[in-house]
Amino acid sequence: MHDTAADRPRSVGPARAAAILYGDWGTSKAYVLGIAFAIAGYASFPILCAMAALTALVGINYYWVCKFYPDGGGVYSAVRDRSRMIATVGALLLIADYLVTASLSVLEGVNYMAHLLEEVANIHIQNPSYWAIGLILIVGFINWFGPRHSGSLAMMLAIPASLAAISIGLIAIPHLGNANFEPMHDSFMHNWMLFAGIVLALSGVEAVSNMTGVMVPDKKHDANGHATVKRTAAITIGLVAAEVVILTILLGAAMHSIPKGVLNQEHTDAMLGQMASYFGKSFFGADHSQVGLVMAKAYASVVGVIMALLLFSAGNTAIIGMISVYYMMSKDKEMPVPFGRLNRFGVPVLPLVLSTLLPCVLLLMFNQTNKLAGLYAIGVVGAITINLGGCATNKKLPMNKFERTVMGATAVIMSLIWITVGYEKHDALIFAIVILALGLFARSFVHERRQLKDEKAFRGMLETGFVPIFDATPGETRILVALRGVTNTLSFAIDEARQRKGRLGVVFVREVKTMIPTGANVNDDPHALTVFHAVKEAVGNDVPLDLIYRTSQNIPESIIQVIADYQADWVIMGAPSGKAITSVLRGSFANEIAQGLPPGARLLIDSWNEYKVPTPTPPKQKKPKEKPADDAPPKEP
């Protein structure tokens, strides 16, 4: 019997969610300040303030999106019920955003390290874009193993990065009286163009709506008994948005406090690193003592390293985000089937390859931060526009008049910015057109060829059609075995079930290392169907059998939940095996399950000796011979 429930462990609390969001949204300060100064110089402060106000407004709107979509409110998830075509366009624009985010974040991280090495050790880094490409390839290699600690890494970096940015603002306060605020251009259109040029500070806000499906639910459900995530979403968005808005304004004013000649509009990379060096020397008295100089360099080094690591983490998050969108669209039959095929570590292979190589190609074409920034906004602004516009016009959502009006007005503002970026930045327009054209071509290909007869026959042959029953029978011993494949551990579990005259449950958890929750449909997992088919043949009819299927980002959490639901008395697992690098990147599932084992359940560990099971092939269907029509001419001899 197959459990195809789409439930994933809702284990992401406010702190972890805020850290993950900050790793994407909060990194904007690291490059937006420099980009703003590059395009407007000492007249950029009003533009930064307007950007901060728009950031706060969009944050409020995305809280409403999270409130109305507790199972995933990203642009694709929120809009596909109304128009799958528009939802696909939104998802493709989000991919374009992630693509530039990965390139820009890693490149700017290299710029921070380059500035640090030049400032502290007088070492000049040549061709930062090549270094960025190398780092992206390394990140892609690591992601092949589906690292399970990215959320913890985000939490480790978020607090130090925020404290580093706050420290720059605090030591710059004595200098704010000398800030040089030049007047803006007289033309509204010119100022509007400048404003549209730094709207990339909004990048990352979509991450929070995509996470709602794995957020810790509120204690109280809605009127229909469904889980809500209003509290977690409010804390997550509130913390990150407040930090981004306040520090953007404070650091923008501090940037204007640096005298002319020290800052150069042509060299604005690693702006927070430049500010840490300048204000750090003044704060520690580097001009008056050698100790002060050493402390100033140490302070600038700490800030530079933290910001570089945060930006590298943001690049990794963007790559995982791209993988997630590709995979979700494939599972929803909007991308070709190969986009949904996973490696043994639960990572979609083709999306991983594309998400790693495409940013490298982009860096070969646009090797400077300012050039990449020109491509940035058209993706993120387009995705936000479609998401907010789709939600604001969705009459099925229980919005009040105020929420619907504000969200609609925000969507109009974002659409105007979107049009402006497309009109002003031709490279960005061409970039978006190419991404949309390739994506929509793949979609049309899928819609023509997505249901093959042999796949239907294969699935029909293995489909059981049973419904899982988890009601405990008094005195019945329940044995649960967790399998990744058919192994000797299964034989051990069958023997235990026979000796104890108990019921055997076999759980197959498909690890899916994506950020966006997807449904657990066993019919879309040929490997799981093959394993279940082999298990049924091995067990026979003398042991009651339950087949349980789940998908999860965290295998131990899912297995622990199944143990509790199944009310298992004994849990059997095979000992993990593999190369050393796999163990380092993935950790030990058995240890985590042992620590979270529900009361009353006992854990048995069996050696892991996997052997391959022949994959059943669908029966060949003979084509019926065509009978000649009555009026057909006879064949010539």
Instruction: Say what the alpha-carbon torsion angle 482, 486, 488, 489 is, to the nearest 10 degrees.
Output: 0
Q: Which has more confidence, 60 or 482?
A: 60
Least confident of 74-83, 376-385, 483-492, 588-597: 588-597
Binned at pLDDT 50, 70 and 90, residue 629 comes out as: very low
Binned at pLDDT 50, 70 and 90, residue 448 comes out as: low
The burial class, CB within 10 Å (0-12 / 13-18 / 19+), for 581 is exposed
With 80 as the cut, is the pLDDT of residue 618 above it? Answer: no
Q: Residue 619 has what pLDDT?
A: 44
Least confident of 38-47, 131-140, 405-414, 589-598: 589-598
Note the CATH architecture for domain 459-606: 3-Layer(aba) Sandwich (3.40)
Quickly list H helices, 150-202: 150-172, 188-197
- Phi, psi dihedral angles at 567 (to 5 degrees): 55, 50
Right CATH for 17-448 from 3.60.110.10, 2.30.29.30, 1.20.1740.10, 3.10.20.30: 1.20.1740.10
* pLDDT, average across residues 427-452: 79
With 60 as the cut, is the pLDDT of residue 632 above it? Answer: no
* pLDDT, average across residues 454-462: 45
**For residues 253 and 273, is the Cβ–Cβ distance under 8 A?**
no
CB-side exposure of 573: number of CA atoms within 13 Å?
21
Contacts of 16 (CB under 8 A, 6+ apart): 151, 154, 155
CA distances, 109 to each of 135, 309, 343, 359 (Å): 10, 7, 30, 14
Q: Cβ atoms within 10 A of the Cβ of 419, count?
A: 13
**For residues 516 and 325, is the Cβ–Cβ distance under 8 A?**
yes
Domain boundaries, the chain: 17-448, 459-606
Most confident by average pLDDT, 182-191, 194-203, 262-271, 387-396: 387-396
Q: Cβ atoms within 10 A of the Cβ of 452, count?
A: 10
With 80 as the cut, is the pLDDT of residue 356 above it? Answer: yes
Binned at pLDDT 50, 70 and 90, residue 157 comes out as: confident
Q: Cβ atoms within 10 A of the Cβ of 437, count?
A: 11
DSSP assignment of 524-567, as one string? G-HHHHHHHHHHHHHHTTSS-EEEEEEEES-HHHHHHHHHHHHT
* pLDDT, average across residues 446-468: 48
With 80 as the cut, is the pLDDT of residue 592 above it? Answer: no
Q: Residue 18 has what pLDDT?
A: 85
Q: Which helix (H) or strand (E) holds 97?
A: helix 84-121
* pLDDT, average across residues 322-327: 88
Report the C-alpha gap between 565 and 96 in whole angstroms. 41
* pLDDT, average across residues 549-553: 79
Q: Residue 151 has what pLDDT?
A: 53
Helix 150-172 crosses helix 290-331 at what angle (to 10 degrees)?
Answer: 140
The burial class, CB within 10 Å (0-12 / 13-18 / 19+), for 65 is buried
CB-side exposure of 301: number of CA atoms within 13 Å?
11
Q: Residue 451 has what pLDDT?
A: 47
Q: Count Cβ neighbours within 10 Å for each residue of 206-231 and write b for 16 or more, e otherwise.
A: bbbbbbbbbbbbbeeeeeeeebbbbe
DSSP assignment of 430-493, as one string? HHHHHHHHHHHHHHHHHHHHS--HHHHHHHHHH--------PPPTT--EEEEEESS-BHHHHHH
Place of tokens 């050393």: 580
Structure tokens at 36: 């703003």
> pTM to 2 decimals?
0.73
Place of tokens 């407040």: 242
With 70 as the cut, is the pLDDT of residue 5 above it? Answer: no
With 50 as the cut, is the pLDDT of residue 617 above it? Answer: no
